[in-house]
Amino acid sequence: MASGSERRPRWRRRAWTAGATVLLILVAAAGAGAWYGSDQGIKVVHYGTGNTRVLAVEGDLVTLERTPETGKPGTYWLEWTGAFSMLGDVVSRAQDRVTRKVLRGPAPSVGTPGYFGSVPPGDPEVAWGIGHTEIMVPTELGPAPAWYVPGGIDTWVVAVHGQSGRRKAELKILPVVHRLGLPFMAISYRNDEGAPPSPDGLLHLRDSEWRDLEAALRQARTMGARRFILYGTSMGGQIAGQFLARSPLAGLPADPHRSRRRPRAPGGTRPRHRRPRPGLADPVRAVRAGRAHGGVERGPRPSRPARA
């Protein structure tokens, strides 16, 4: 019969074995979760066309299935096969349904499946009645489509959508941009619908996508653009940042025909200090310096009230 001193090491071994087994299971689970998460992060996703269904229609009131999206406050779009409508804020809600008012467009039929979201449907003409041209940008992987809306000046707004998104996601800003007279370009990049895929069929999370933005800006320069305001949503902002950090085009002057030599002061000497020539990075530099935000000059900060 084993003594107490002999049982103690056996229980210790069992405890160590059980602890090591649990630790290995946790490490394996964490590794599997990390692998799955990273796989989902670089996988190309093209979303379908339906995330809700019309339950009832009464005049200009439409009742939809209640989801985390359809229950949000604000103005949204409902798109279905061949048509769309703009819906206002929630009028009433129940446990399984929400009712919203149609602000623009027809009311769908009961039972219609549709896509509910904040993205305007269609192209600039369909969404806002603004004329546009579909152009093809010659990227290193092949032609990628872009929407171009002309304006009256040579400073262009170039919009870049986010991860697994679509060009139409950037149409939210088009009415304001168009009202200001700025030309507008909404680009697509590798792995988008209608654009060429990447060689491995995966997203590179801005590491290679920025080169498609660079190609779009080169195309825009041939069309008369001299300065750019880069507008990016989510990963689109990261793509713009990578372009500014890595593209030689980001450091070019606004006028490619202007001499890059430093001007001579009277007497033949060159000035010791000069103001940098405007380039593609100017809008971002301005925002970081606090001189402008979103193309609108900031006013002075309000003064704090004096203490009594």
Pick the residue with more confidence: 130 or 44?
130
Residue 278 has pLDDT above 70, yes or no: no
**Would residue 63 count as lying in a domain?**
yes
Average pLDDT for the chain: 78
Residue 303 has pLDDT above 50, yes or no: no
pLDDT band, very low/low/confident/very high, at 48 (cuts 50, 70, 90): low
Pick the residue with more confidence: 65 or 17?
65
**Would residue 265 count as lying in a domain?**
no
Residue 185 has pLDDT above 50, yes or no: yes
Residues 150 and 205 in one domain: yes
The pLDDT assigned to 178 comes to 96
Residues 140 and 159 in one domain: yes
Taking residues 222-230, what's their average pLDDT?
94
244/21 Cα distance (integer angstroms): 49
Using alpha carbons, select from 205, 204, 252 the residue that is nearest to residue 227: 252
**Domain finish residue from 118, 140, 172:** 118
**Would residue 222 count as lying in a domain?**
yes
Strands 155-160 and 227-232: parallel
**Domain finish residue from 62, 97, 118:** 118
Residues 206 and 151 in one domain: yes
**Domain finish residue from 230, 246, 262:** 246
Residues 165 and 242 in one domain: yes
Is there a contact between 189 and 160 (Cβ–Cβ < 8 Å)?
Answer: yes
pLDDT band, very low/low/confident/very high, at 37 (cuts 50, 70, 90): low
Residues 106 and 158 in one domain: no
Pick the residue with more confidence: 210 or 169?
210
**Would residue 106 count as lying in a domain?**
yes
Residues near 262 by beta carbon (within 8 Å), at least 6 away in sequence: 270, 271, 274
Alpha-carbon distance values, 12 to 9, 18, 22, 25, 167 (Å): 5, 10, 15, 20, 62
Pick the residue with more confidence: 58 or 260?
58
Residues near 250 by beta carbon (within 8 Å), at least 6 away in sequence: 243, 244, 279, 280, 281
Residues 130 and 97 in one domain: no
The pLDDT assigned to 253 comes to 52
Residue 302 has pLDDT above 70, yes or no: no
Residue 29 has pLDDT above 80, yes or no: no
Structural domains of the chain, count: 2
- Range with the lowest mean pLDDT among 80-94, 124-138, 146-160, 275-289? 275-289
- The CATH code of the domain that includes 79 is 2.40.10
The pLDDT assigned to 169 comes to 86
**Would residue 206 count as lying in a domain?**
yes
Taking residues 50-70, what's their average pLDDT?
92
Residues 130 and 114 in one domain: no
Total residues found in the chain within this entry: 308
Strand partners, 186: 147, 159
**SS3 per residue for 145-197:** EEEEECCCCCEEEEEECCCCCCHHHHHHHHHHHHHCCCCEEEECCCCCCCCCC
Residues 131 and 96 in one domain: no
Q: Give the structural domain span for 233.
A: 125-246
3-state DSSP assignment of residue 39: helix
Residues 94 and 169 in one domain: no
C-beta neighbour count of 176 within 10 angstroms: 13
Residue 282 has pLDDT above 70, yes or no: no
Residues 142 and 95 in one domain: no
**Would residue 176 count as lying in a domain?**
yes
The pLDDT assigned to 305 comes to 43
Residue 254 has pLDDT above 80, yes or no: no
Taking residues 213-229, what's their average pLDDT?
95
- The CATH code of the domain that includes 240 is 3.40.50.1820
Residue 41 has pLDDT above 70, yes or no: no
- Range with the lowest mean pLDDT among 40-54, 126-140, 183-197? 40-54
Residues 161 and 228 in one domain: yes
**Would residue 304 count as lying in a domain?**
no
Taking residues 70-84, what's their average pLDDT?
87
Residue 244 has pLDDT above 70, yes or no: yes
Percent of the chain with pLDDT over 90: 44
**Would residue 5 count as lying in a domain?**
no
Is there a contact between 85 and 119 (Cβ–Cβ < 8 Å)?
Answer: no
Residues 93 and 200 in one domain: no
